[in-house]
Amino acid sequence: MGWNTGMKGSATKQAEKKTRALVQPDAKGLQLIAWEANERALFERQYRLIALFAFVVLAVYIVQLWYLQVAKGPYYRTRSENNRIRTETIRSPRGIIFDRNGVPLVENRPAFHLMLVREDIKDAEALNSVLKDISVLTGKSPADLASVLEANKTKRRFEPIRLVSDIDRDTLARIESRRLRLPGVYVEVEPRRGYKFSGTAAHVVGYLGEISEEELKKDAYRDYQSGEYIGKGGVEKSLEKFLRGQSGWRQVEVDALGRHIRSLQERLPIPGRDMWLTLDLDVQREAEECLKGKVGAIVAVAPDSGEIVAMASSPSFDQERFVRGMNAEEWKKFIADTSHPLLNRAVSSAYPPGSTYKPFVAVAALEEGIVSPTSIVSCPGFYPYAGRKYRCWRDTGHGAVDLHRSIVESCDVYFYTVGMKLGVDTIAAYAKMFGLGEPSGVELPSERTGLIPTRDWKLSATGIPWQKGETLSIAIGQGFDQVTPLQAAMAYAALVNGGTLWTPKLVTRIEAADDGDSDVVKPKVRRKLPVRKETLELVKKGLVGVVNEGRGTAHGIALKEVLLAGKTGTAQVVRMGENVNRKAHQRSLAAHERDHAWFVGYGPAEKPEIVVAVIVEHGGHGSSGAAPLAQKVIRKYLEKSHPELRSRDDAGEQPVPEEAD
Amino acid sequence: MRGNNRSRRRRIKVMMDRRLVENFDWSIVFLFFAISCLGLVSLYSALYTQIQIHPTRNLFVKQLIWFALGCLIFLATLFVDYHKLKKLAPWIYAATLLALAVVLIVGDGIKGSRRWLNIAGFNLQPSEFMKLALVLQLARMFSSQDVEPYPPLRQLIPAAGISLAPALLIVVEPDLGTSLCLLAVAFTMVFVLGIRWRYLLVITLVGLLSVYPLWHYGLKEYQRERIRTVLAPERDPMGSGYHTIQSKVAVGSGMMWGKGFLNGTQNKLRFLPEKHTDFIFSVWAEEWGFWGCSVMIALFFLFICASLRVAGRAKDRFGMLLVVGLTALVMWQALINIGMVIGLLPVVGITLPFVSYGGSSLLTLCAAVGLIENVSMRRYAFRPS
């Protein structure tokens, strides 16, 4: 830009430019001269023509606008007011959830809502009279109705407000017959959830709730609208995308009073996809019956496929209450309930596994060559370590114990000894191999991971190195150990089916979508365990002994017709002192400090068809508090394939001889 | 490092050059911002329902982001002397033409047409960028020394070729509106150079003669239906006449002073699926009435006049043609779009410049305004040869 130095005013500018062109008549200069001389005048004329063209066209537009907006304005104004198109959303019915035999656990029923469009009501007086009529027809107090209007004040006047939701059929009939006298009022139909067996499998099925403001902001719910109902728990939540379907819309032409004149266009909703769960309603109900009045969970799985046949958690809740809607008072009470009825204890609670952990320690010991089936450990009733006595559950001791007896009689001292030899990390490696302390991948929300401690874990979590004495409590499933009932069931399933760890399967089939999605859900193997068959057979023999040998800890639940097997367990809630009398100790404890009772069992022992894990919170001993429940559930399941079980009632129930761990 | 510094300093010097600032045409920028503001007001109203549902994630917010980006592009185009673009023009044209071909093969289909190209998460419409590329390339071709005023046919044929190639590719997408717009822009640029009467006569004759075969073989049934609709919209009120009738009701019901901001009933009842793009003017007309429409139209007219004034003062023919082409772009889109909304022209998919929702379109327009300003700023600024 060297050329511009010395330029001052615009007058000199012109002059110098000409000078330059004359002084330096290079090619570019010549072109510029030609441009100035010949073309500029022509082009100027052409621009004027273009501007004129634009002017004429736009003038025509102004005339047309005058015609439309001023001359015919009142006509179009009336037309826009009288002849209006409303777009209504048509909600899609959610997919139905069946049990494995096709019994519907959740269905849809039509719900009728009374809607009001303020714009269609002339003035406040007319609104008042409409509200009064509605109050008489529905039995709602005028104050309630007014508060609904107040809550929707920010909505625009043409937007419908849901004045009364879910009116019954009598009210519906009364309103329909008076529709013409109620301007701005119409009835909207919406599919709602209906429960034939409300409260059954409530935790697995889940419940619906209105989408919250926070959820609306999330990416997962980007095409949702406020006021929509979404799954808030169970498969309703985890499989929302299949169950929801796609809502449609309808354009309706309405008159000045908001009455439908005709439907213009519509897109029908795509219903949600139906779903068949692996649950068996009969077994599920039996499990829930067993837990009645108790706090705990029962999980029944098929060991040959990982299918969850029953999953009960107690206390449960009534899903109907969520459909009807709770008022603030009810909701507060519900949430404040210290027994947490919404919590699915089968997957969202973790407990120390107690002695149900011992078979996995036994597997570890056999696989690592720490013990042979015949090696003997002497149990005097305690294990001395670092100047302390670690007690066996049986104060008098078990004497000389081999592997089989250690499982059958659940000898703590045997596992203290073996555990110290294995070390905490080896035990943890085997436990994790069986899926303990790991998310199982079940299709349910908020699954707990549980915990199987290792040295590294303790150091990083607490900053304190592992104390060797802590391995003692780990070896018998106390202390840091935490597993969910579902994990326990899946681990036992792997133990008894020859070493296949399944991903828990909750859904057998999802109705095929139009785009031809595969509809059958195949069982998924999580891993094949690298454990010798002989090891598993030895441990299984021990588990059979637990139920069927005279000194077995769950001797009381043996059935004549079918060979059952399993393992009892007791999860300590409060640590017991060294020299305290066991029974007196438990009696002295308040209810919420008593031990949790565990039992994981299966049957028939020769070819297991069902594995059941039971936990009863503060239920005391596994043998008395949990094992009988597991027996009932196994029996219920086996009744179908073993008719001989069906004829006799309560035959298997004998008084439990001894409270054993 | 030092070289970089120097070049930066030089660029700053160019910007600071007194005459560059003196020749900056503020009226263009003012009109650009004025129309854009009215556009954002209309868009807010058209998207109000959506904004209420998703206050942070809606098309309005998206458009604001596009607008901010557009302003950056506007500023960026000021810095580079437009003569540099003259050299680049063929490459830009070729690259955009390639993109148009690619979009036909891999483009994202929306409502049955393939217009969009997804690049790094942004849906871009190469046909919008083609408008710029074509104007640049035509301006370059016509600014050659061989081309005299009233160019003969042999000089017009290559220009026709490079206009028809993208027009055909875009028609296949199918996007008849943009394609027509390209041809109209090309014609305007030829017109400025001076067009001989016999050519005009021949074009008119060919046009008239091709009406019949075009009507029967060239147009699709829905396009024929739209043209019939303009002549008599009431013949099929629920079908093809639907848009035209509802749009006219919206415009007419605005009356003299409009229903007021956010009070349009035709708008909020969602009667028009394209209300935030092609029919945005009807939203404006309903809420602001005849006076609002007059203001909007006046602003567009002033913008066209101001741009043509820049063209008239341009330093050379390339700059002049560039500005004429860009002005024609805004002009034709505005004329066709408004004509369509008030029921004087058939419904073709053409957006209202600066007003309709659309990122690619807005970016293109901002670049166009930047280029017009660029030519204006450099009308006396000679480079040493």
Helix (H, G, I), strand (E, B) or coil at A650: coil
Q: What is the mean pLDDT of residues A317-332?
A: 78
pLDDT grade for A653, boundaries at 50, 70 and 90: very low
CB B149 within 8 A of CB A38: yes
pLDDT grade for A182, boundaries at 50, 70 and 90: confident
Helix (H, G, I), strand (E, B) or coil at A99: coil
Residues of A in contact with B322 (CB under 8 A): none
C-alpha span between A382 and A507 (Å, rounded): 47
- Does the CB of A12 have a partner CB in chain B at under 8 Å? no
- Does the CB of A61 have a partner CB in chain B at under 8 Å? yes
- Tens of pLDDT, residue by residue over B172-196, are 777 788 888 999 999 999 998 888 8
Contact B335 A57 (CB under 8 A): yes
> Tell me, what's the pLDDT at B266?
67
Residue A228 is given by DSSP the state -
C-alpha span between A571 and A620 (Å, rounded): 9
Residues of B in contact with A39 (CB under 8 A): 149, 317
In chain A, which among 625-654 make CB contacts under 8 A with chain B?
A: none
Q: HSE of B354 in the Cβ direction (CA atoms, 13 Å)? A: 26
pLDDT grade for B383, boundaries at 50, 70 and 90: very low
Q: Tell me, what's the ipTM?
A: 0.89
pLDDT grade for A52, boundaries at 50, 70 and 90: very high
Contact A47 B57 (CB under 8 A): no
Contact B252 A46 (CB under 8 A): no
Identity of the highest mean pLDDT range in A46-60, A456-470, B199-213:
A46-60
Kindly state the percentage of chain A with pLDDT values over 70.
85
CB A594 within 8 A of CB A573: yes
Q: What is the mean pLDDT of residues B331-352?
A: 90
- Tens of pLDDT, residue by residue over A463-516, are 899 888 889 989 998 888 999 999 999 999 999 998 899 999 999 888 877 655
For residue B369, the cross-strand partners are: none
Q: What is the mean pLDDT of residues A572-590?
A: 66
> Tell me, what's the pLDDT at A258?
61
> Tell me, what's the pLDDT at A581?
66
A117/A545: higher pLDDT = A545
- Does the CB of A46 have a partner CB in chain B at under 8 Å? yes
Tokens of A502: 């399944």
Global pTM reads 0.60
- Does the CB of A227 have a partner CB in chain B at under 8 Å? no
C-alpha span between A90 and A92 (Å, rounded): 6
For residue A185, the cross-strand partners are: A116
A585/B143: higher pLDDT = B143
Residue A40 is given by DSSP the state H
- Give the nearest partner residue to B248 out of A17, A42, A68, using CB atoms: A68
Contact A66 B290 (CB under 8 A): yes
Smallest CA–CA distance, residue B99 to chain A, in Å, is 31
Smallest CA–CA distance, residue A148 to chain B, in Å, is 20
> Tell me, what's the pLDDT at B303?
96
> Tell me, what's the pLDDT at B349?
79
pLDDT at A652 over 60: no
Helix (H, G, I), strand (E, B) or coil at A468: coil
Kindly calculate the radius of gyration of chain B based on its CA atoms and give it in whole angstroms.
22
> Tell me, what's the pLDDT at A364?
93
Q: In terms of C-beta density within 10 A (0-12 exposed, 13-18 middle, 19 or more buried), how is residue B160 classed? A: middle
pLDDT at B238 over 70: no
C-alpha span between B290 and B264 (Å, rounded): 14
C-alpha span between B243 and A265 (Å, rounded): 14
Query: Which range, of A66-80, A259-273, A281-295, B121-135, averages the lowest pLDDT?
Result: A259-273
C-alpha span between A367 and A472 (Å, rounded): 19
Q: What is the mean pLDDT of residues B70-83?
A: 90
Query: Which range, of A304-318, A418-432, B97-111, averages the lowest pLDDT?
Result: B97-111
Pairing status of strand A524-528 against strand A84-90? unpaired
- Kindly report the average pLDDT of chain B as a whole number: 83
Ordered by start, the domain boundaries in chain B are 26-377
Q: What is the mean pLDDT of residues B299-311?
A: 94
For testing contact with chain B, the best of A58, A72, A89, A264 (most B CBs within 10 A): A58
For testing contact with chain A, the best of B187, B259, B271, B286 (most A CBs within 10 A): B271
pLDDT at B340 over 80: yes
> Tell me, what's the pLDDT at B384?
37
Residues of B in contact with A54 (CB under 8 A): 301, 304, 331, 335
Residues of B in contact with A26 (CB under 8 A): 385
> Tell me, what's the pLDDT at A20?
53
Q: What is the mean pLDDT of residues A332-357?
A: 87
Contact A47 B192 (CB under 8 A): yes
pLDDT at A589 over 80: no
Long-range CB contacts (< 8 A, 24+ apart) of A3-10? A3/B382, A3/B383, A3/B384, A4/B17, A4/B19, A4/B381, A4/B382, A7/B19
C-alpha span between A87 and A252 (Å, rounded): 6
Phi-psi region of B194 (alpha: psi -120 to 50; beta: other; left: phi over 0): left
C-alpha span between B54 and B57 (Å, rounded): 5
Ordered by start, the domain boundaries in chain A are 86-277, 281-317+344-647
pLDDT grade for A3, boundaries at 50, 70 and 90: very low
Q: What is the mean pLDDT of residues A589-600?
A: 81
Residues of B in contact with A4 (CB under 8 A): 17, 19, 381-382
* Protein fold of A281-317+344-647: Beta-lactamase (3.40.710)
C-alpha span between A608 and A497 (Å, rounded): 7
- Give the nearest partner residue to A80 out of B145, B238, B266, using CB atoms: B266
- Give the nearest partner residue to B254 out of A2, A54, A69, using CB atoms: A69
Q: Which amino acid is located at B101 in the chain?
A: A
> Where are the extended beta strands (E) located within A345-385?
377-379, 382-385
For residue A501, the cross-strand partners are: A527
Q: What is the mean pLDDT of residues A295-300?
A: 93
Q: What is the mean pLDDT of residues A624-631?
A: 88
pLDDT grade for A307, boundaries at 50, 70 and 90: very high
Smallest CA–CA distance, residue B316 to chain A, in Å, is 7
pLDDT grade for B385, boundaries at 50, 70 and 90: very low
- Does the CB of A52 have a partner CB in chain B at under 8 Å? no
C-alpha span between A166 and A643 (Å, rounded): 46
Question: Architecture of A86-277 per CATH?
Answer: Alpha-Beta Complex (3.90)
Q: What is the mean pLDDT of residues A514-529?
A: 76
Tokens of B39: 């556009």
Q: What is the mean pLDDT of residues A630-636?
A: 91
> Tell me, what's the pLDDT at A16?
58
Residues of A in contact with B246 (CB under 8 A): 85
Give yes or no: A305 in active site: no
Contact B269 A87 (CB under 8 A): yes
> Where are the extended beta strands (E) located within A481-554?
500-503, 507-510, 524-528
> Tell me, what's the pLDDT at A2?
37
Smallest CA–CA distance, residue A251 to chain B, in Å, is 8
> Tell me, what's the pLDDT at A418?
92
Residues of B in contact with A13 (CB under 8 A): 380
pLDDT at B121 over 70: no
- Does the CB of A218 have a partner CB in chain B at under 8 Å? no
> Tell me, what's the pLDDT at A435?
92
- Kindly report the average pLDDT of chain A as a whole number: 83
Q: Which amino acid is located at A155 in the chain?
A: K
> Tell me, what's the pLDDT at A517?
58
> Tell me, what's the pLDDT at B178?
87
Residue of A nearest to B19 (CA): A4
Q: What is the mean pLDDT of residues B46-72?
A: 85
> Tell me, what's the pLDDT at B336?
93
pLDDT grade for A649, boundaries at 50, 70 and 90: low
C-alpha span between A241 and A642 (Å, rounded): 39
pLDDT grade for A398, boundaries at 50, 70 and 90: confident
**Which distant-in-sequence residues (6+ apart) come within 8 Å of A245 by Cβ?**
A92, A93, A94, A95, A269, A270, A271, A272, A273
C-alpha span between B323 and B374 (Å, rounded): 10
Give the number of residues written for chain B: 385
Smallest CA–CA distance, residue A270 to chain B, in Å, is 19
Distance of CA A457 to the CA centre of its chain: 28
pLDDT at A86 over 70: no
**Which distant-in-sequence residues (6+ apart) come within 8 Å of B112 by Cβ?**
none
- Give the nearest partner residue to B265 out of A38, A68, A80, using CB atoms: A80
- Residue of A305, A313, A355, A440 with catalytic role: A355
Q: In terms of C-beta density within 10 A (0-12 exposed, 13-18 middle, 19 or more buried), how is residue A384 classed? A: exposed
Residues of B in contact with A47 (CB under 8 A): 192, 308, 311-312, 324
pLDDT at B299 over 60: yes
Q: What is the mean pLDDT of residues B34-52?
A: 89
C-alpha span between B278 and B338 (Å, rounded): 9
Q: HSE of B228 in the Cβ direction (CA atoms, 13 Å)? A: 15
> Tell me, what's the pLDDT at A336?
79
Smallest CA–CA distance, residue B321 to chain A, in Å, is 10
Tokens of B149: 């005023």
